[in-house]
Amino acid sequence: MDLRKLKTLIDLVSESNISELEITEAEGKVRIVKAGTAVAVAAPVYAPPAPVAAPVAGAAPAAAAPAAPVAEAAPEGKVIKSPMVGTFYRAASPGAKAFAELGDQIKVGQPVCIIEAMKIMNEIEADCEGKVLRILCENGQAVEFGQPLFIVE
């Protein structure tokens, strides 16, 4: 969804008697909820629709095949999380050097990335120090509030 359109929707909700608005489009779903005098925007969900599989004739019942639980391993080290919803960028401009690379030593307060929200570039600083073990987001990827961005040793 276009950021101008999103801002217009936020303004409309904040100026009207509507307390909640949810819009679903091909790109995702946006939910805007008015809380008191402030307007909160839920993170856009960018998930492709799940494919629907037709049952195969002669297939074993689903109860006969136990499903293995999918457990994600907890990341080792400290996690730097996104403080806002927006678009993740590793560098200040397309041709510039990335703020943090794999294996780099970072310090508290050092910029590690930029998150663009409502056409404003927000420098995200490290809240811990150590060596960058993993970069969990791709350049230009939409991120949500609290989403892990980096894992630091």
The number of distinct structural domains making up the chain is 2
Q: Check whether 21 has a pLDDT greater than 80.
A: no
**52 within a domain of the structure (yes/no):** no
Residue 41 banded pLDDT, cuts 50, 70, 90: low
Residues 148 and 91 in one domain: yes
Inside any domain, residue 62 = no
Of 4-8, 43-47, 140-144, the one with minimum mean pLDDT is: 43-47
Whether residue 47 lies inside any domain: the answer is no
- In a domain, residue 100? The reply is yes
Q: Which domain holds residue 32?
A: 3-41
Please report, for residues 77, 85, 117, 125, the alpha-carbon distance to residue 80 in angstroms, rounded to integers and kept in the order given: 10, 14, 18, 9
> What is the arithmetic mean of pLDDT over 95-103?
92
Backbone angles phi, psi at 9, to 5 degrees: -65, -40
Tokens at 46, concatenated: 């960018």
Q: Which residues contact 74 (CB under 8 A, 6 or more apart)?
A: none
Q: What's 127's domain CATH number?
A: 2.40.50.100
| 91 and 144 part of one domain | yes
**Residues 83 and 136 occupy one common structural domain:** yes
- Shared-domain flag, residues 82 and 144: yes
Tell me, yes or no, whether 51 lies in a domain. Answer: no
One domain, residues 93 and 31: no
The model's pTM is 0.51
What is the rounded CA–CA span in Å between residue 15 and residue 32? 13
Check whether 136 has a pLDDT greater than 50: yes
Position 71 scores a pLDDT of 46
Examine residue 73 and state whether it is found in any structural domain, yes or no.
Answer: no
